[in-house]
Amino acid sequence: MNVKSARFITLEGVDGSGKSTQAKLLKEALEAQGHTVLLTREPGGSPGAEEIRSLVLEGEPDRWSAETEILLFTAARRDHLERTILPALEAGTVVICDRFVDSTRVYQGLTRGDLREVVDKLHVLMIGREADLTLVFDMDPVLGLARAKARQTAEERFEDMGLEMQQAMRRGFLDLAKGAPERFAVVDAGRAVEAVADDVLAVVRAAL
Ligand code: TYD
């Protein structure tokens, strides 16, 4: 890990890996140290992107093709970046984003044929920004899926794609981390909340 002044921090991992809980704890811990912090999420994070969120997360698993999803997630991301993320970074705020382009690389890029190159090309064209630091919450998808399904929300299109897909996604996140060690840190998320939170804070403090 060699990230100087990481202000744009993204959290990634399979469904139910505990990212959202950890995102809140990280925000509180950084605020306690005097940082101004914005916690946001994808898909969503701006009014327009939140509207796209319900299109992509609700309904049948085959509601959209992977290609259409790439366009929808990228459209949501562009709006989120323009209206929420970049203005906050320019104001000196630390931005914690629950999922970003690595989710598209893995979910849309790997799970229904190899579309990784399409994701990357569109990202360069329309987004052009990587996180300064990305934490991958790694855990056994059996556990993650059980947790995620226990939440019982309408937003279950991806969880409904099943265990094999979640396993492919876990490998996908780990491969991304291996390919860009200067940006990524992998956290063992299959432990108690406090233990995970301690690791997360240590990694982020070293990078900030
Ligand atoms: P979310 O509420 O973030 O789920 P979790 O709390 O488990 O992370 O739901 C986001 C869902 O959208 C999740 O199943 C992953 C999927 N997703 C994509 O498929 N592509 C993307 O680019 C993003 C940002 C999310």
Domain ranges of the chain: 4-207
SS3 198: helix
Residue 191 near residue 19, CB atoms below 8 Å: no
pLDDT tens figures, 29-59: 999 999 999 999 999 999 999 999 999 999 8
Cα 144 vs. chain centroid, distance in angstroms? 15
174 Cα to the center of ligand 1, angstroms = 17
Residue closest via CA to ligand 1's atom 2 equals 155
State the closest ligand 1 atom to the C-alpha of 100, by its place in the atom list counted from 1. Answer: 24
Which CATH code for domain 4-207? 3.40.50.300
Q: In residues, how long is the chain?
A: 208
State the closest ligand 1 atom to the C-alpha of 98, by its place in the atom list counted from 1. Answer: 3
pLDDT value for 95: 98
Task: Return the structure tokens found at 29.
Answer: 């811990």
Tell me which residue of 136, 100, 135, 104 sits closest to 120, measured CA to CA: 104
With a 6 Å cutoff on the Cβ, whether 108 touches ligand 1 is: yes
pLDDT at 25 over 90: yes
State the closest ligand 1 atom to the C-alpha of 16, by its place in the atom list counted from 1. Answer: 7
99 Cα to the center of ligand 1, angstroms = 7
State the closest ligand 1 atom to the C-alpha of 41, by its place in the atom list counted from 1. Answer: 3
pLDDT tens figures, 135-152: 999 999 888 888 887 887
Compute CA distances 206 → 15, 23, 31, 98, whole Å: 27, 17, 16, 20
Residue closest via CA to ligand 1's atom 5 equals 15
Residue 39 near residue 10, CB atoms below 8 Å: no
pLDDT value for 6: 65
Q: How many CB atoms lie within 10 A of CB 193?
A: 12
Tell me which residue of 23, 42, 4 sits closest to 123, measured CA to CA: 42
Tell me which residue of 72, 113, 1, 89 sits closest to 38, measured CA to CA: 89
pLDDT at 2 over 70: no
pLDDT tens figures, 156-207: 777 777 888 889 999 999 999 999 999 999 999 999 999 999 999 999 999 9
With a 6 Å cutoff on the Cβ, whether 73 touches ligand 1 is: yes
147 Cα to the center of ligand 1, angstroms = 14
Give me the chain's average pLDDT, please.
93
Q: What are the percentages of helix, strand and coil residues in the chain, rounded to 5? A: 55, 15, 30
With a 6 Å cutoff on the Cβ, whether 74 touches ligand 1 is: no
